[in-house]
Structure formats: structure tokens, C-alpha cells
Amino acid sequence: MPKKRALVLTDHELRLMDVLWARGPSTVSEVTAALTAPPLAYNTVLSTLGTLEKKGYVAHKTAGRAFIYDARVEREDAAKTAVSHVIARFFGNSPNALALALLNDVPVSDADRKRIRELLERSAKDKQ
């Protein structure tokens, strides 16, 4: 039984997951070659993929002498987990507090403001 997934991916883990999400099943050599700067050593990629497998993010199968790693978690699910972690850790489990912080700190275009307004109105109608 795989270990429960850690809440967030480290920077190295996320870089490798990005490769697997983009390429699909890949060997350690293929993942290493696909990384953008800064490069990581083969052994670092191998070790990090092993950690990701222990965490339940990837699985491998054997093809001859090579291991082929494949993502077991979709990018969207990993993103939701990361956002949930940020909300719990920094915003007292309040998605509203996160939304307000973002709206206060980030310039919002007219198109985005309109979309936010539509979502809020739809949410209010759904609760009625």
C-alpha cells in the first residue's frame, strides 16, 4: 500500500512531475534530458523519482533494464492539494481569506473582475 501523499511537492519533485505530465511515461534518462535549466544529475533524478514513488505520485514498470516512470496524480489534483495546503497553513482554512488577499494584492483586469462577479452571482443564486 503506497504511503499517503505529502501535501506539497518540492521544487525538484515538481520539475520531474512537469516532465512526466508533459511527456507521459518516461525513463530516468528521458526525464533527465527533458529538464530545462538548471540541469539535474541522473542520480538526483533517479533518487527524486524514487521519493515520488514512495509518496504515491508516480509508479514504475520495468522494460528490460530500464524503469519507466508514470505519473499517478493529475496536475489538477496536485494543484488542488497545494492550494488546500496554503489555505490551511496561511489563511486559517478560509478560502475566502485567500481570495481577499489575492484581490487586495494582485491587479485585476476588467475581464477578470467581470468573471469574478459572474462567479459570485452564480454562487449566490445556487445557495438560494
- Model pTM? 0.78
**1-90 has which CATH code?**
1.10.10.10
Query: How much is the pLDDT for 125?
Result: 86
Domain residue ranges in the chain? 1-90, 96-128
* One pLDDT digit (tens) per residue for the chain, 128 residues: 455 555 689 999 999 999 999 999 999 999 999 998 899 999 999 999 999 999 999 999 999 999 999 999 999 999 999 999 999 999 999 999 998 998 888 898 999 999 999 998 998 888 87
Interaxial angle between packed helices 75-90 and 11-23, expressed in degrees from 0 to 180 and rounded to the nearest 10: 150
Query: How much is the pLDDT for 127?
Result: 81
